[in-house]
Amino acid sequence: MRVALTLYGRDLGSIVGAMGNFTYWVIVDVEDSKYRVVDVIENKGLNVQVRRGLEAALQIINKGVDAVITAHLGYHPFEVFKSRGIKIYVTENCSGEKAIKKLINGELTEVTEVPEHRGEHGHGRGRWYHYWGT
């Protein structure tokens, strides 16, 4: 399985970040209980003002990944991944290495829908969709 993680650094010791606000995609090949980093890609979504998560998602969909691990996921990247059959896992407050180990051990649950969340996010009132991991 090829997994893409949203990390704040270039290696698996870095913390898993929120979709759109992370610094690097770290792509890992996972086979049984073994894993290895195969690619590190700078998040180009940081260079846009709106829909950073969508921009980041579009950047990775053609990299042959089977799954994504992130700390936060909005509606648009969720739809991009789901439409391409890419599984989504959410975790917070852990390193990329710990997240991979959780995945291998079956401790991460696949996100199958994004709960609706309404409220103010500094952009006025509106409808926003987010999933925050626990």
CATH numbers and ranges of domains, the chain: 2-132 (3.30.420.130)
pLDDT on residue 125: 38
Tens-place pLDDT, residues 37-95:
999 999 987 777 778 788 889 999 999 999 999 998 888 899 999 999 999 999 988 99
Cα Rg of the chain, angstroms: 14
Residues sharing a CB contact under 8 Å with residue 34, sequence separation 6 or more, in sequence order: none
Helix (H, G, I), strand (E, B) or coil at 69: strand
What pLDDT, on a 0 to 100 scale, did the predictor assign at position 114?
Answer: 75
Q: What is the pTM of this model?
A: 0.84
